[in-house]
Structure 1
Amino acid sequence: MSHYRAKSTLEQWRIFQAVIDCGGYAHAADALNKSQSSLNHAVAKLQQVLGVTLLQVKGRKAELTPIGKVMLRRSRQLTQTAQELEQLAYNLEQGWEPEVKLALEMAFDRASITSALKQFQKLSRGSRLSIEDTVLTGTLEHIEEQTADVVITHHLPKGHIGEPIDDYYMDLVCAPDHPLANLPQPVKQDQLSQHLQLVIRDTADNPKEDEGWLRAEQRWTVSHFDEALRLVRSGLGFCWLPPYIAEREMQKGNLRKLQLDGSSCRRGSLYLVLPKGEQTGPCARVLADLIIGQPVSAISA
């Protein structure tokens, strides 16, 4: 069996990418803290061993050839994979991560993982746990940008897989003395649009306007369901609230559940996602296994 031996090096591809990203050899040399001549030599050598022209210098600017565009795109996958491979080795060598970040979609009832968190505290070897409430696109950002270790989400972004762990649903509620409570049920959407809706702020840096629950003409935005509940109870407006927030208040008579024409409640599935995939640390895997109810991974025990 013959073994293929690469003609190019990762460093050559890194230099090639830097020349494009920095807009030329001079800026790339500054960014990489190397001499311009060494960068020229590296790219020339790369083109020589490949037998193709990647760059053409026009004036003071280096421009990609059509072949160069294809090779640049594919080379980014190569350097990214190498970086991930080295990061994985570092993680395994380091073993236990000092902090695990858990991002929870706010529609998710935390009470359902209390037992898992108690078990995790005993197995966490002193790792800190950071829990963040997230909403809508904010939850998806943690998955796509890998800024959390374990995420519970209402929606799986394209290309990501998740373990279904629970269902969620949201009830439409208002105070008993709110005008909507006295209308014949079910209420119609155009009747809702005449009243103030309380919505939970999307926690994303760049929220998507098409995400969210029922847009009314008049909206007040709050950062948490607890604040929304306080305002709804005061009679200010209506809101979609999960049962873990609304049910007790409905039993006390502080809230009235509304029936919406064509929709009794908002339903969906919740998934547990490990955004970092294979790079997920052993401590985060312990937490994920406990939440899912699986035996704790052997590597982590």
Structure 2
Amino acid sequence: MYRPKSTVEQWRIFQAVVDCGGYAQAAEQLCKSQSSLNHAVAKLQQGLGVPLLEVRGRKAYLTPEGEVFLRRSRKLTQGIEELELLAGVLASGWEPILRVVVEASLPRQPLYQALADFSPRSRGCRIHLVEAQPSGCQAVVNKQAADLVFACRAFSGVTSLPLATTVYIPVCAPEHPLARFDEVTAHELDSELELILADGSEQEEGWERAEQRWIINHLHDTLSLLRRGVGFAWLPLEVVAPMIDSGLLQRLPMANQALRKRFTHLILPRPMPPGPAASLLLSLIRHHYGDHETTPIGENTASSNYREGTLPAP
């Protein structure tokens, strides 16, 4: 079994002697006797078998080996300080992990912006960001297996907050036969292949008259197939707009200007109010989604009350 030959306190004393320029100055700063500092550094060097300092007159100078150990020891003591600070943070109720689940078909730029703002204030809290299909989101909510869930629908019995409206448009590759039409009707879509972003575990929403459907589990796969001229799909305008602008995809000009809209709901699956880290992230999410259109969806799903209390204000 490995037994350390040094202590954290010895490394801190070694660093103080270097930073202060000598034992006497370090002793004054640390409120310790000079002899105790001499003893600590001597024992450290003896245990390592490497000279770290040499004294010339009243000043201590680093040896070449000491320069290497000084850099490494600073990382060590900084890590110890961070561990001790983290212990205090967790003792105060700050969550060590936040699990965030996002439905695959939803755009998430405001969420990314919120997470970017959360990162420097996270105080060691880790984020687990998971993409799921509608049935997966429902399972997570039922099991209370996440702190935050972004979904296209609200769920009964849990807190739900409408965040934004997402517009879905039909798109295909520029070389797809549908791209030749100046105006696309339901008749033209009758026999065309539609790519449905879903998991196939339930009756999936698609173009009502489409006879052929492929169920695709990931947005990346859907976009890759579309760019290769395979089928058409209804996808979020925010997601496909850059690809339309660059000519990689083409928006289908529907005869009746048909659009689909879905709401982004923020679901809090657990009955207890969120902790301090979740509350911070929640306020940042509400702030960034505030720049997006939010449409009322009725009292039942728009209600943001807990069984006891309300959602934290942004």
Contact 1:201 1:221 in 2 (8 A): yes
Consecutive unaligned residues in structure 1, runs of 5 or more: 1-91
* CA offset digits 1:140-199 (Å, max 9, x no partner): 2222221111011110022333222111111101112211122351321x4323122112
**2:189 is aligned with 1:192:** yes
Q: For the residues of structure 2 that align with 1:263 and 1:174, how far apart are their CA atoms? A: 16
Structure 1 residue 134, shift from structure 2 partner: 2.0
* CA offset digits 1:243-269 (Å, max 9, x no partner): 232111111222221134556221022
Contact 2:158 2:270 in 1 (8 A): no
Consecutive unaligned residues in structure 2, runs of 5 or more: 1-89, 289-309
The equivalent residue for 1:118 is 116
Q: For the residues of structure 2 that align with 1:269 and 1:183, how far apart are their CA atoms? A: 30
**2:220 is aligned with 1:226:** yes
Q: Give the SS at the match of 1:162.
A: strand
Q: What's the TM-score once normalised by structure 1's chain length?
A: 0.59
Residues 132-171 of structure 1: matches in 2 within 5 Å?
Answer: 132-171=130-169
Residues 55-94 of structure 1: matches in 2 within 5 Å?
Answer: none
Q: For the residues of structure 1 that align with 2:135 and 2:254, how far apart are their CA atoms? A: 25
Q: For the residues of structure 2 that align with 1:153 and 1:265, how far apart are their CA atoms? A: 19
Contact 2:184 2:255 in 1 (8 A): yes
Q: What's the TM-score once normalised by structure 2's chain length?
A: 0.57
Q: For the residues of structure 2 that align with 1:104 and 1:213, how far apart are their CA atoms? A: 20
**2:262 is aligned with 1:251:** no
Compare CA radii of gyration and give the structure with the larger one: 2
Contact 2:185 2:256 in 1 (8 A): no
Aligned identity (percent) is 31
The equivalent residue for 2:207 is 214
Q: For the residues of structure 2 that align with 1:214 and 1:94, how far apart are their CA atoms? A: 51
Q: For the residues of structure 1 that align with 2:202 and 2:280, how far apart are their CA atoms? A: 32
Contact 2:105 2:197 in 1 (8 A): no
* CA offset digits 1:100-141 (Å, max 9, x no partner): 110112233222223321222222221210001122222222
Structure 1 residue 94, shift from structure 2 partner: 7.5
Residues 91-110 of structure 1: matches in 2 within 5 Å?
Answer: 95-110=93-108
